[in-house]
Structure 1
Amino acid sequence: MRGRNTSLSALLVAAGLLLTVIVWIVLAPTQFGGQATYVIINGNSMEPGLHAGDLVVLRQADSFAIGDIVTYRHPDVGTVIHRIIAQRGDRYIFQGDNNAWVDSYEPTQSELIGKYWVFMPGAGAVLENLRNPWLMALFAAVIGIAIVTPVSAGQIHRVRQRRRSATAQKERAVNSNSRSDTDILLLLTVLALTSALVALYAFTRSTTQIVPVESFYTQRGSFRYTADAPPGLYSNDTAQTGEPIFRKVINRVEIGFDYLFEAAELGEMAGAASMEALLISESGWQRRLPLQEENTFQGNGVSLHAVLDLDEIQRLIDSVQLQTGVTSSRHELRIVPHISISGLLGGENVQDSFAPVLVFALDPFQLSLAQTNDSDQLEPVQEGRTLRQAESPSLLRFLAFSVSIEALRLFSILGALLASLGVALAVWLVRQRRRRPAIEYIRERYGPLIVTVQNSSLGAEGAAVYLTNIEDLAKIAERTGRMILCEELQAVWRLSVYDEAVVYRFEVHRHGAADGAPKEE
């Protein structure tokens, strides 16, 4: 009986531990590696759904949609729990259900704490009240009593335990074989229960989820210019990119610009490109000079070419100075390509523009690259990103670990199969065991209590009580602290326990199978 109670207790402990793990996975705070965040409602902005003093449990999420109740971090106010009513780019727009105005702050996804999962009416107010010093002192006193009481009780328990140790030792020996069977059954039960709970969780959730995915891209440009020059003035008789252009011997400069759109998962792209020059004087006067008209292109790159006629630019400067009477010896000449591009990136539409600037300093003697804040204006780069919705495996996160819902489903199926195979094997072993002679079954189960004797005449003069099953005889042996004497007779095995003037007996056929309780002779 005690063996059964022990097994039942072990089963309850295992189930309790399993339930504790599940509760921890579901309700563990994010501070301890869980997925839950707890918020106490302050105010009436979310009425009539949520009231002041309610406790809201939030769950971490990979995506948020319009209509979700979400808590976010406000840089000035702190945590705010409101409903998403719109999305503008990568920012979310919130409003309280009981508010007539929209929240002024628009957080990004990195500032969202979690999505509403469940709430407990009034639980937040109870938690707030528990912070009262007197209640905390009372709670500490209760905990202290709860700790001291088991210590005192434990001393009494140890005295009683020593008195029962001898009897318990024998009982453990008798039940060792049956307990191993019980342990196997316990293991199979825990496995089946775990598989069932995991299956309940995994098969009630989708294996995939829609999550926002950022796709990054880069727009690169490369300016170049060349000009033919008299022999001996430049290397190879040509002015190259980065070198000054001496106006006394050079009046035409070829300008080139190469554009490239780079990204992973790049689809079909197309765009339009043009190039112009912007002439700016020291007084602030400026004039746009078209260099290349807008042309469309296919693909993710294009090259632009144009020619600067420095004599024509000088004639324009002279004309303006003649008409205005304002002279300027230095001008700034900006080369500006205009690129607009659109297409598919990761299956989603993307559209952007690129207009880098190459700045020259122009004076009566030379055209040279100007000093700007841009470290490398010859190789301009512009980064960009798009936000798209994509399908991702659903995950269960626990502490620093995560496992997919699909893997949980597979685990539950394998666990159920193993538990079923284990039960089938256990049934087969039990049937095989019961086909053996009954005496072997009895020796296996009650071996530590059985002593084999020959020609025993003990108890011949006393009263004999014949029992109908071996279990009752084993209980008598355990209670009286006596051994079971096993004697081989002509047709039966006789098992006896002698208790003063009474002998308790159980007899079984020598070739009887262990299918059920051995029958009396």
Structure 2
Amino acid sequence: MQNRLLRRLGMCLLAAVAVLLTVVGAAVLAGQAAVVSTDGVSMNPFYYDGDLVVIVRAPSYSVGQIAAYRLPGSNEVVLHRIIGGDQDSFVLKGDNSQSIDTVMPSAKDLIGRERLHIPQGGVWLDRLTSPLTLSLMTFTLLVSGGGAITRRRRRRRQNRQRRAEMSRHTVTRTGFSAALGALSPMLRVGTALTLVLTVIASTLVVLAWTGPLNQAASAESVSGARMEFSYTAEVGDSPAYDGTVAESPDPVFRSLADTIEVHFAYQGAQGSITVSAELSTPGGWRTTVPLSPSTSFTGNQYQGTVELDLATFEEKARAASAVTGLPESPIGITLTPRVQTATGPDFEPALTLELAPLQLSVPGAADALTVTTDASVGQTIPVPRTVGPENWNLTAANARIMSAGLLLLAFLAATTLVLLARRNTPVDEGAAIRRRYAALLVRVHPMPAPQGRPVIDVTTFATLAKLAERYGLLVLHWDRSDVETFVVQDENTTYRYRTNPETSSTDALAVATENDTRINI
């Protein structure tokens, strides 16, 4: 009783897991969910490397939730916590990370939020969906499911054929096709569907595991990046200028201004931007001065301003000249806003200025204030490998998960068929004896008792089985008029057991001679 309860609990657990896998698989195919196996330590101690997280798309998101987004131009998924922003631009950060994410996705860019977390589930999923495990599951399903149904239906097939037998030879065992034909219409349909499900799952196993998860693909990305520079300087009321502000591309006279503000306007892919200036002199001296830290931005436009302290630059060049003996003037200033994006190479436009003792000027005038790049950049990027027809868009990663779920469903279906087949088999004493002692039984036609041989009726079939094993004999078996008779014949005695002794008057052995001796043991 306890074993039966444990089996039922196990079946319920497997059914729940199968339903869960089916729901998750359908949501993944519909684009409403994703399954993520965590990698890294950015979300410790909430997540650890190898955890499994199910991400489900939500209508809205709020601060404090854990959400996932895909890095632009790649298949990498980032799973971090929302710490700020709104539906148009969220700020995310890992719990164990010191810096915020450079990408600020909107609500429509998010894959979804965390709904189910299984510690180390990713590790076990990789093990369960390995080629060896899936192959063993498929083999076990086909062998155990088909074999069990064959064994249980074979006996019913034999019972229907017993009256047509014309000799005392043992009944020939039927194969799987005969057993399948003996199934009820419902069980035949269930068996066919289970086999189809197994074939589909096995095909997915082959397609998903015969190649990598990702494959290299050539892509041309047109950056189309553009940077426009300009500068201004407060020069006061002076006859050198028409107003109080000097603007690019006019020179800035040193006697009127010590600082200038350089403005830059960027158009292109979103990312982060860092600004620095390189100082150089004709003698070969160079140094780099950082002007602004890395700043993330979203959208395809960004505008910024940095301040150049000309007096400080001159002081640096003068100090270097005093040590090296090289000329300190003119000073070359190369201002570079470096833009880093996830979709292509870095964009590093440069504004070149020349600082002399009397003025700051722009070599090349207005043409140097705009930098663009429209060249196509060829690159090889990893993309998810898809399996099946092109319109499926089923990735190898999702195919592995689906194949595991389908194999589990097929296994449950086969188990259900076996249970149904067992329920349809007779549950009387004769059927129980035939199931348990099948190796000892030989079916024959009803036969009369031999003349002069005593017939001994035993009270249990177990006793008859022990006698057969002791003498190394088989148990002859037949049924007639709802009475099943089992006999063991040694050289001098016939041992007999009948399932319905009260109706034994119709049994063939009841036609006994006066020499018969019946002894109950």
TM-score (norm 2): 0.30
TM-score (norm 1): 0.30
Higher Rg of the two aligned structures:
1
